């Protein structure tokens, strides 16, 4: 069964570009557009909207780059506590550097970086120095005095006026950041204040992909967004301001609705009036209009809800999140009448672990299973062994299946695996000799030099991108990094693959 698309990228790109440019025209001089979500590699969107290009926003920016400046915001507290972007496994400050590089690759330059809520945190100071010494302009904005209740102080020299003014040149200023809470809105409003003090008529708007305002509140795509943000307690609701102003139902989320009365007063204080009657009015999102198959998107979103369920369970086991987050996602599972086994790879992975244990006749040890669903719907399994981890096993089995290589043909000759084992035990002093996925892929590449079958298998690795994978145990760092680079959608049961507390 080939995966079906449910989203039209080209229609989305056309409508979204037109909507943004139309909003720019409403202001004589400048529009500050708060870009929510991920600018690049929006894998959540591509998972719940099958067919969505995870880099479609970058294509959008490429069309607008002659008219747009870009400000990249990052919250100093996220730098200090080394907050991690889960889909890449890198910290937010590293993600910001990565984003600047990738924008350059697209021919787009970042005007500056703004470190928000800056209080001379040591890690934030180091980050600032690193950028400045690479000739990147950096601004720092402190916490806005009076926020959120004292509008008179917020809109004054002591509030937004205390922030350094960021000089921009183009009619559209895109304000983005590596994640939620990066200070994008405060940066936009601070700029708005400074512009109006300079008699520059500018405006503000928001570009958020989720929740999708013209889908029902109970639509799985919108529920999947709630599941994705369960750790920061976001939840969707009917926009009460939009309903009152227009008698029309629109979906928004709690933070936007909660802040709207204050935001409206701030805009009125700065500009003398506000053209927005609801938080939905502020948005320019057209994603809902590009959905071409509702059934496909519903199924994909339900799969994503289950992925989030597994992810938060694992994060709880590792001490990275709290029980309330896990309970919230369990409620979404229940509300959608789902079970974890709805995810097709879960049962086969668990069965593979059970069969491995049975083959060893109950000998002591931890038996790990893994399963991958290929793009044609075929499910391939693997399990751990003295030779390799379960993740390595399932990937090797999968590429052999794709390359139509018989089971009896070995892709990793003994002289190569023995050499790697000796390196790990005799030189690197590692306890585990079995190959994690990164090590197995390196061994496969070495084997490919002399083994045509291994070369054929290596050529099929790229076909694993976007495939579904489940493991019965939390992957080791080498397995997780390898699976991430292959681009699979991974889940695992919240069990550890070893009794050791430290895993390298």
DSSP for 4-72? PP-B-HHHHHHHHHHHHHHHHHTSSSEEEEEE-S-SS--HHHHHHSTT--TTHHHHHHHHHGGGEEEEE
Indicate the pTM of the whole model.
0.89
* Token pair belonging to 56: 């479609």
Torsion angle in degrees (nearest 10) through CA of 90, 93, 99, 101: -100
Greatest alpha-carbon pair distance for the chain in Å reads: 80
* Distance, CA of 465 to CA of 3 (rounded, Å): 12
Note the helical H segments in 336-466: 346-359, 390-402, 414-422, 437-447, 452-459
Query: Helix 437-447 and helix 452-459: axis angle, to 10°?
Result: 130
DSSP symbol at 376: T
C-alpha angle 485-377-308 in degrees, rounded to nearest 5: 55
* Distance, CA of 120 to CA of 81 (rounded, Å): 14
DSSP for 125-151? HHHHHHHHTTT--EEEEPPPTTTTT-H
Q: Are 121 and 96 in contact (CB under 8 A)?
A: no
Q: Which domains, from first to last, does the chain contain?
A: 9-216+245-288 (3.10.630.10), 344-492 (3.40.140.40)
* Distance, CA of 253 to CA of 228 (rounded, Å): 13
Residues of the chain with pLDDT under 50: 1
Return the exposure string of 233-259: e unless at least 16 CB atoms fall within 10 Å of the residue's CB, then b: ebebeebebbeeeeeeebbbbebbbee
- Provide CB contacts within 8 A for 273, sequence distance 6+: 267
pLDDT of residue 491: 97
For 312-346, the pLDDT digits (tens) are: 999 999 998 999 999 999 999 999 999 999 999 99
pLDDT of residue 92: 87
């Amino acid at each position: 069964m080939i995966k079906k698309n449910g989203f039209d990228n080209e229609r989305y790109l056309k409508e979204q570009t037109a909507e943004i440019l139309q909003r720019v025209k409403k202001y004589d001089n400048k529009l500050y557009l708060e870009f929510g979500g991920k600018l690049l590699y929006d894998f959540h969107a591509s998972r719940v909207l099958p067919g969505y290009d995870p880099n479609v926003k970058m294509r959008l920016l490429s069309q607008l780059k002659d008219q747009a400046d870009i400000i990249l915001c990052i919250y100093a507290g996220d730098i200090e506590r080394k907050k991690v972007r889960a889909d890449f496994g890198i910290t937010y400050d590293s993600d910001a550097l990565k984003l600047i590089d990738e924008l350059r690759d697209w021919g787009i330059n970042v005007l500056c970086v703004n470190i928000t809520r800056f209080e001379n945190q040591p890690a934030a100071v180091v980050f600032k120095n690193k950028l400045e010494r690479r000739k990147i302009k950096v601004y720092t904005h402190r916490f806005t005095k009076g926020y959120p209740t004292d509008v008179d102080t917020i809109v004054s020299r002591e509030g937004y006026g205390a922030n350094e003014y960021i000089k921009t040149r183009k009619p559209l200023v895109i304000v983005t950041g590596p994640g939620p809470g990066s200070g994008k809105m405060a940066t936009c409003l601070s700029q708005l204040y400074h512009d109006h003090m300079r008699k520059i008529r500018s405006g503000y708007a928001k570009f958020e992909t989720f929740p999708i305002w013209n889908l029902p509140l109970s639509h799985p795509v919108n529920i999947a967004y709630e599941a994705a943000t369960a750790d920061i307690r976001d939840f969707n609701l009917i926009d009460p301001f939009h309903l009152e102003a227009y008698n029309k139902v629109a979906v928004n989320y709690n933070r936007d609705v909660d802040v709207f009365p204050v935001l409206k007063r701030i805009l009125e204080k700065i500009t003398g009036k506000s053209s927005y009657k609801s938080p939905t009015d502020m948005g320019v999102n057209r994603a809902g209009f590009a959905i071409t198959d509702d059934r496909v998107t519903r199924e994909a979103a339900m799969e994503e809800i289950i992925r989030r369920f597994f992810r938060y369970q694992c994060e709880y086991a590792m001490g990275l999140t709290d029980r309330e987050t896990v309970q919230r996602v369990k409620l979404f599972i229940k509300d959608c009448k789902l079970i974890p086994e709805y995810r097709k790879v879960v049962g086969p992975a668990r069965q593979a672990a059970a069969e491995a244990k049975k083959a060893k006749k109950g000998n002591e040890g931890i038996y790990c299973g893994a399963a991958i669903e290929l793009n044609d719907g075929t499910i391939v399994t693997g399990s751990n062994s003295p030779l390799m981890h379960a993740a390595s096993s399932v990937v090797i089995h999968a590429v052999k299946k794709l390359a139509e290589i018989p089971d009896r043909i070995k892709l990793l000759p003994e002289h190569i695996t023995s050499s790697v084992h000796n390196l790990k035990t005799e030189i690197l002093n590692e306890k585990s000799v079995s190959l994690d996925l990164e090590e197995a892929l390196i061994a496969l590449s070495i084997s490919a030099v002399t083994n045509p079958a291994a070369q054929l298998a290596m050529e099929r690795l790229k076909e694993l991108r976007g495939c579904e994978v489940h493991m019965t145990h939390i992957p080791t760092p080498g397995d997780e990094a390898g699976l991430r680079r292959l681009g699979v959608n991974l889940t695992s049961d919240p069990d550890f693959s070893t009794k050791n507390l430290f895993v390298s």
